Amino acid sequence: MTVGIVLVSHSAKLAEGLAELAAQMAPDVRIVPAGGLPDGGGIGTDYDEVVAATQRADSGDGVVLLYDLGSAQMTAELAVESLADPSAAVVVDAPLVEGAVAAAVAAQGGANAKAVGEAAASAGVAPDLAAAEPSAAGEEGVVEKEFTLTNDVGLHARPAAVVVRSLAEFEAEVSIRLGEQEADAHSVLALMSLGARQGDRIVVRARGLQAAEAVAKVAELVESNFGE
């Protein structure tokens, strides 16, 4: 089971499209759109639809609700309050698109509801792209390797999500460097912000008990074109 996600929007098309996008990065997560008024009634949010969506999204590990505009927040909060167990769901203040992506990847990685909500909320902060520092030769506990991206679109959304999900199982701090910029390999948004494209050479750097295994996993992903 994983934490479920509900996308509350004034637009049915927006909610449905975003749910489709997020599902590409988190195939095992229940991501349920709740947008628009009933029966194609246009722009707005519907309390009953949000309640039903929250119930459908709940597989037993909790539900995180994201929303687009102010009244959608009110509808989401009222829906949660009406649940038999309101503590099973939480409404998170986060940018809808970026938050949905971050929450979906976190849920796919097995994070609990609190961590999924925090991942969504943190998506509102600009990704930390640090200036890459030269590696100290033979630095203890550090594994570093360079790769060339051969997949068609580089580290776009889905490959970035694949990297983040795959590294969640390893006890290691991992970063990916492109040129003079370095990003946390545990953040989809940070990896996407690198703008790494086909043919670019990236450097993967890991530190920790499973640093070598983490780098080997990235090597496997690159060689398989991230499953594309």
DSSP string, 56-76: HH-SSS-EEEEESSHHHHHHH
Tokens of 226: 């991230």
186 catalytic residue (yes or no): no
Q: Which amino acid is at 3?
A: V
CATH number, domain with residue 56: 3.40.50.510
Q: Are residues 93 and 169 in the same domain?
A: no
Q: Mapping DSSP to helix (H, G, I), strand (E, B) and coil, where does residue 141 land?
A: coil
- Range 58-85 average pLDDT: 93
DSSP-derived secondary structure letter, 194: T
Domain that holds residue 183: 130-227
Clarify whether residues 105 and 138 are in a common domain: no
Number of domains the chain is built from = 2
Strand, helix or coil for residue 126: coil
Looking at residue 188, its pLDDT comes to 86
Average pLDDT, the chain: 89
Tens digit of each residue's pLDDT (9 = 90 or more) over 195-228 = 899 999 999 999 999 999 999 999 999 999 988 7
pLDDT tier, 156 (very low <50, low <70, confident <90, very high otherwise): confident
Catalytic residue among 4, 7, 10, 177: 10
* Residues in CB range of 39: below 8 A, 6 or more apart: none
Lowest mean pLDDT among 31-45, 47-61, 117-131, 156-170: 117-131
Q: Mean pLDDT across the stretch 77-89? A: 93
Tell me which of 88, 122, 156 is where a domain ends.
122
Q: What percent of the chain has pLDDT over 70?
A: 93
Q: Are residues 208 and 175 in the same domain?
A: yes
In this structure, are residues 166 and 196 in contact, taking their beta carbons and an 8 Å threshold?
A: no
Report the pLDDT value the prediction gives residue 126, as an integer from 0 to 100: 60
Residues 136 and 114 both lie in one domain: no
pLDDT digits (tens, 9 = 90+) for 100-148: 999 998 898 888 999 999 989 988 666 656 555 555 445 557 999 999 9
Mean pLDDT confidence for 82-86? 91
Q: Are residues 101 and 22 in the same domain?
A: yes
Give the single-character DSSP code of 88.
G
Give pLDDT, residue 94: 93
Q: List the alpha helices (DSSP H) in the chain.
A: 12-25, 47-57, 70-81, 96-108, 113-122, 157-167, 188-193, 211-223
